[in-house]
């Protein structure tokens, strides 16, 4: 791939929706159409609040309209280090609840990094190889952190970074603390696809909801392209759609 600094810049397509449900329906529509067009599609998936409605809509597509996940392959962006698959705050657990268990996706085709692996660096390399073997990611779903992170690529992450173990920023730990009994229980490290890994997806859809994302969205879409806002690196990709509610779009 061309060195990061030499890459041409693009304008992401911006879609602003009036309600969270309309936003979820729009994003689910993009995914449902892509799965219908290519039943063996390779999806990149995100966890967190932003995609919850989208997953509900996709489950609805499966139940009511027979959307078939049986040949879909998925790779999640990230996982906390130290949380096992059955830990209620693990991203594997989240995915099982939100999308995998309620659809007919083949469990063997779902991939979430294993935060309990005893050799995380080797596991990260294996994860990259598994994505490659699957033919690369066709359609990647993203959220954005209040600090502009994508996956768990915190500000300062190299644009060419690959799947690896990272230390979470204090801002990210604080943002995720409400989901744990106390801030001290939030893992301080995670394993995440790199920015370079994400940018190799053929198509990217990023969701942002709420006023606390407005500054990060404005910086990502209209600020300088810089590792200090990892989501700004998406502007080196020619096929990115950013789907927002009015609150998240307020800085544009």
Which residue's CB comes closest to ligand F6R? 143
Binding-residue pattern over the window 47 to 76 for ligand F6R, x denoting contact by CB under 6 A: xxxx--------------------------
- Min. distance of Cβ 151 from ligand F6R in angstroms? 4
Q: Which one is catalytic: 111, 123, 149, 237?
A: 149
Instruction: Compare residues 46 and 120 and give the one whose CB is closer to ligand F6R.
Output: 46
Per DSSP, the residues of 69-115 read -TT-EEEESEEETT--TTSTTSHHHHHIIIIITTS---GGGEE---T
Residue 78 appears among annotated catalytic residues: yes
Residues 150-169 that bind ligand F6R (CB under 6 A): 150-152
12 binds ligand F6R (CB under 6 A): no
Six token digits for residue 10: 């693009």
Residue 154 appears among annotated catalytic residues: yes
Residue 147 appears among annotated catalytic residues: yes
Binding-residue pattern over the window 85 to 124 for ligand F6R, x denoting contact by CB under 6 A: ----------------------------------------
- The whole-angstrom separation of Cα 245 and Cα 16 is 5
| Region binding ligand F6R by CB under 6 A among candidate stretches 65-73, 107-115, 148-156, 237-245 | 148-156
- The whole-angstrom separation of Cα 99 and Cα 61 is 11
139 binds ligand F6R (CB under 6 A): no
- The whole-angstrom separation of Cα 115 and Cα 94 is 14
- Min. distance of Cβ 8 from ligand F6R in angstroms? 25
Q: Is 132 exposed, middle or buried (0-12, 13-18, 19+ CB in 10 A)?
A: exposed
Point out which residues pair with 13 in neighbouring strands: 241
| Region binding ligand F6R by CB under 6 A among candidate stretches 96-104, 123-131, 145-153, 215-223 | 145-153
- The whole-angstrom separation of Cα 104 and Cα 82 is 28
Instruction: Compare residues 68 and 251 and give the one whose CB is closer to ligand F6R.
Output: 251
- The whole-angstrom separation of Cα 34 and Cα 88 is 30
77 binds ligand F6R (CB under 6 A): yes
Instruction: Compare residues 34 and 46 and give the one whose CB is closer to ligand F6R.
Output: 46
Q: Which one is catalytic: 147, 176, 237, 245?
A: 147
- The whole-angstrom separation of Cα 66 and Cα 152 is 33
Per DSSP, the residues of 14-31 read EEEESSHHHHHHHHHHHH
Instruction: Compare residues 151 and 223 and give the one whose CB is closer to ligand F6R.
Output: 151
Closest CA to 166 of 130, 113, 217, 126: 113
What residues act catalytically? 78, 147, 149, 154
């Amino acid at each position: 791939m061309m060195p990061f600094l030499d890459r041409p810049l693009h304008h992401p397509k911006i879609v602003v929706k009036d309600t969270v449900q309309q936003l979820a329906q729009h994003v689910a529509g993009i995914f449902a159409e892509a799965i219908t067009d290519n039943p063996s599609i390779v999806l990149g998936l995100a966890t967190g609040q932003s995609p919850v409605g989208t997953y509900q809509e996709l489950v609805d597509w499966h139940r009511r309209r027979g959307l078939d996940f049986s040949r879909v392959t998925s790779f999640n962006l990230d996982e906390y280090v130290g949380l096992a698959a059955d830990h209620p705050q693990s991203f594997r657990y989240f995915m099982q609840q939100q999308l995998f268990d309620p659809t007919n996706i083949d469990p063997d085709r779902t991939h979430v990094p294993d935060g309990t692996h005893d050799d995380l660096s080797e596991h990260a390399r294996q994860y990259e190889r598994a994505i490659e073997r699957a033919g690369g990611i066709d359609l990647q779903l993203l959220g954005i952190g209040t600090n502009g992170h994508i996956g768990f690529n915190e500000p300062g992450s190299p644009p060419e970074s690959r799947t690896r173990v990272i230390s979470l920023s204090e801002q990210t730990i604080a943002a995720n603390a409400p989901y744990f009994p106390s801030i001290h229980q939030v893992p301080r490290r995670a394993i995440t696809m790199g920015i370079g890994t994400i940018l190799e997806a053929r198509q990217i859809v990023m969701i942002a909801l709420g006023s606390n994302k407005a500054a990060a969205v404005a910086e990502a879409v209209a600020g300088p392209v810089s590792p200090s806002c990892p989501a700004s690196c998406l502007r080196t990709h020619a096929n990115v759609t950013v789907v927002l509610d009015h609150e998240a779009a307020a800085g544009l």
